């Protein structure tokens, strides 16, 4: 007699093997997704810093406060700056007369904070930080 299909035991064995593979690979996939989100956020904030520096160069590096609301940058005089991107970030920035930028920005879901003081050269990304305050 010819046998068609799989037995219940064979199907259960395949399901168990698939479950084990998912259990092993899921943490790596989740970590990869979180790392990608962190890099995208950092790149977005670096774009905000570049836009502020370009604006400052046009106005001869006058001290200026900036507000970032839903990815839109507005200087203290009400002028909006153009950026390539922006994904709902919220925070504040300041540029001094020497072109140094201090910034503190949270991502859209408030799970990451990007901060940089005037004396730092790179952004610091902190995860799960509820209080994202700029320090000049």
Q: What does residue 16 show for φ and ψ, rounded to 5 degrees?
A: -65, -40
CA distances from 17 to 6, 11, 30 (A): 15, 10, 20
pLDDT digits (tens, 9 = 90+) for 32-54: 999 999 999 999 999 899 989 98
Give the per-residue pLDDT at 135.
81
User: Domain ranges in the chain?
Assistant: 8-127
**The two three-digit tokens of residue 130, written as one number:** 């509820």
pLDDT digits (tens, 9 = 90+) for 79-136: 888 776 667 889 999 999 888 999 999 988 888 999 999 999 999 999 877 778 888 7
Q: Which one has a higher pLDDT value, 29 or 3?
A: 29
Beta strands in the chain (DSSP E): 64-69, 72-75, 80-81, 90-95, 101-106, 112-116, 124-127
pLDDT digits (tens, 9 = 90+) for 85-98: 667 889 999 999 88
d(CA 66, CA 64): 7
For the chain, what is the mean pLDDT?
88
């Amino acid at each position: 007699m010819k046998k068609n299909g799989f037995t219940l035991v064979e199907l259960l064995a395949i399901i168990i093997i698939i479950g084990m593979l998912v259990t092993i690979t899921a943490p790596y996939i989740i970590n990869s997704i979180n790392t990608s989100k962190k890099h995208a956020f950092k790149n977005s904030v670096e774009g905000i810093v570049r836009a502020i520096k370009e604006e400052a160069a046009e106005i001869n590096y006058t001290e200026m406060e900036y507000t970032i609301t839903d990815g839109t940058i507005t200087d203290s005089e009400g002028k909006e700056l153009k950026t390539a991107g922006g994904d709902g970030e919220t925070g504040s920035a300041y540029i001094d007369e020497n072109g140094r930028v201090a910034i503190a920005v949270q991502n859209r879901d408030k799970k990451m904070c990007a901060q940089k003081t005037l004396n730092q050269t790179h952004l610091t990304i902190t995860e799960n930080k509820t209080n994202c305050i700029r320090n000049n």
